[in-house]
Structure 1
């Protein structure tokens, strides 16, 4: 398997492609809110929600080089997020953590994943144990 290859996973909702997301963090949780389309350029009354739990790290970057994302022409997804199966970033974090807390993995049970979500002009990369995707009628988010 090629290191840092990201695989697209279809979202259950059509994330509006030209809109920004709103990020909210508290403790080790990160929530990203996104606008949903019902059909092309027709907004839903619902707001999409990415709920990440047990977040270890997060970064976002404008104008990201897409070199490790599989070209998406092979699918018909209207919207997706990505998982990096063999993440060098996650590997680096584990090595760094082991250098000052050698037995951390005996206490921090569970698997971490490298997720990527997209906003209009940037990518948000999250190392977390869990992701739940939902939608709700919300006001005042955007």
Structure 2
């Protein structure tokens, strides 16, 4: 049984610099978050990491918040990760609210939404979206 609002860590393919901020860019229903990559402690890569969320429904971020969703596990020895919440009360609340205004919305908005969490230096960014792609690219003047 999945515990309500429990977040599961998923290791990032790149080492997100832990003490740096991310840059968020939003356009239509897409959201991109750019992050610096380390190749070794405090040594930056020439690449920038990119979280690319598609079909974004909602986003929120809070500063200095304990990530109460996720309890660190000894076996999660990840250098960098993001989280997903399979049984999200926030997503459930959004769906109920949407049903109250548009009872047939799921007939037209096909696909499944997920509750993701990414981290900036002092912020947790929570995103409800249908899809996430993670990549890296040589970019200039992002930070």
With normalisation by structure 2, the TM-score equals: 0.97
Q: What does residue 138 of structure 1 align with?
A: 139
**How big is each residue's C-alpha offset from its partner over 1:42-82, in whole Å with a ceiling of 9 and x where there is no partner?**
00000000000000000000111222103143222100000
Q: Which moved more, 1:124-133 or 1:62-71?
A: 62-71
- CA distance in 2 between counterparts of 1:65 and 1:8 reads 15
Q: Does the 8 Å contact 1:8/1:70 carry over to 2? A: no
| CA RMSD between the two structures | 0.7
SS where residue 66 of structure 1 aligns?
coil
Instruction: Extract structure 1 runs of 4+ deviating beyond 2 A.
Output: none
Q: Does 1:123 align with 2:124?
A: yes
Q: Aligned equivalents of 1:32 and 1:73: distance in 2?
A: 28
For each residue in 1:64-101, what CA deviation from the matched residue of structure 2 results, as whole angstroms up to 9, or x when unmatched? Answer: 12221031432221000000110000000000000000
- Partners of 2:34 and 2:100 lie apart in 1 by 35
Write out per-residue CA displacement over residues 102-123 of structure 1, whole angstroms, 9 at most, x where no aligned residue: 0000110000000000000000
- Whether contact under 8 Å (1:36, 1:46) holds in the other structure is yes
What's 2:40 paired with?
Answer: 39
Tell me the distance in 2 between the aligned counterparts of 1:20 and 1:6. 22
Q: Distance in 1 between matches of 2:115 and 2:103?
A: 22
TM-score, normalised via structure 1 length: 0.98
- For 1:89, the equivalent position in structure 2 comes to 90
The answer for the alignment partner of 1:59 in structure 2 is: 60
Whole-Å Cα distance in 1 between the matches of residues 76 and 32 of structure 2? 27
5+ residue gaps, structure 2: none
Cα distance between partner residues in 2 of 1:43 and 1:78:
14
Aligned to 1:107: 108
CA deviations over 1:114-133 (Å, ceiling 9, x no partner):
00000000000000000000
